[in-house]
Structure 1
Amino acid sequence: FHIRAGKVYLSPIIDCFDGLVISWTIGTRPDADLVNTMLDAAVETIADSEVRPILHSDRGGHYRWPGWLERIDAAQLVRSMSRKASSQDNAACEGFFGRLKTEFFYPRDWRAFTVAQFIDEVDAYIRWYNKTRIKMSLGGRSPIEYRKSLGLTP
């Protein structure tokens, strides 16, 4: 995102099952620290699970960095990467970013916001998205409500 105060980067992991944003980091640089923090948080959420998801990403350099690959291997995750210039391969994440921009970013005037304030707003939107925003594909439930209805989340 580009706001008057500077650039802000969001690195999320979206669960293709229901669109839940499993983990995310927001920062001012698209670097290894941004994606490693996001990946470490995601791994914590599945630590006690026998399920090992496929982790799909675009072809950004930080997703090809040896440290990223080592983290994926250590967590026993399967890595998948988009073909070059093929956003359809990453449809769940691209769709989330489209909704984020349409519902949250474009309708607001961000000129008076600092980077820190903007980051707080993005974080609040994602929490709202997971907990409250309904999806018709989930029977009019939010991702968290849907998981609760299936007994997947307490």
Structure 2
Amino acid sequence: GLMENFFGLLKTEMFYDQEYKYHNLQELTQAIEEYIEYCNNERIKSRLKGLAPKEYRSQASINPIF
């Protein structure tokens, strides 16, 4: 379910009605890699207390829950 949600979001945000942006497979691959990098390191998530996933993981490793 989690991966289905991610791929649905990826397609909605960067592909549907935007196919004209990518002239070849290499450009599409590069755009997907940049999107994944953005999602993992910069995109702020409300369920992660307003932090990007990378920041949240870093904070969690410094302040363990248990």
Q: TM-score, normalised to structure 2's length?
A: 0.77
The aligned amino acid for 2:20 is W
Structure 1 residue 139: Cα displacement: 1.0
Structure 2 unaligned blocks of 5 or more: none
For the pair shown, which has the larger CA radius of gyration, 1 or 2? 1
Higher helix share: 2
Structure 1 residue 110: Cα displacement: 3.0
- Aligned residue pair count: 62
Q: Which residue of 2 aligns with 1:68?
A: none
Higher RCO structure, 1 or 2 (CA under 8 Å, sep 6+): 1
Q: TM-score, normalised to structure 1's length?
A: 0.37
How much is the aligned-residue C-alpha RMSD, in angstroms?
Answer: 1.8
Q: Which residue of 2 aligns with 1:94?
A: 4
- Of 103, 118, 123 in structure 1, the residue corresponding to residue 28 of structure 2 is 118
Deviation string 1:77-118 (CA, Å, 9 cap, x unpaired) is xxxxxxxxxxxxxx1111111111122222523365211111
Percent identity of equivalent pairs: 35
Say if 1:138 and 1:106 are closer, same or farther in 2 by CA, change over 3 A.
same
Higher strand share: 1
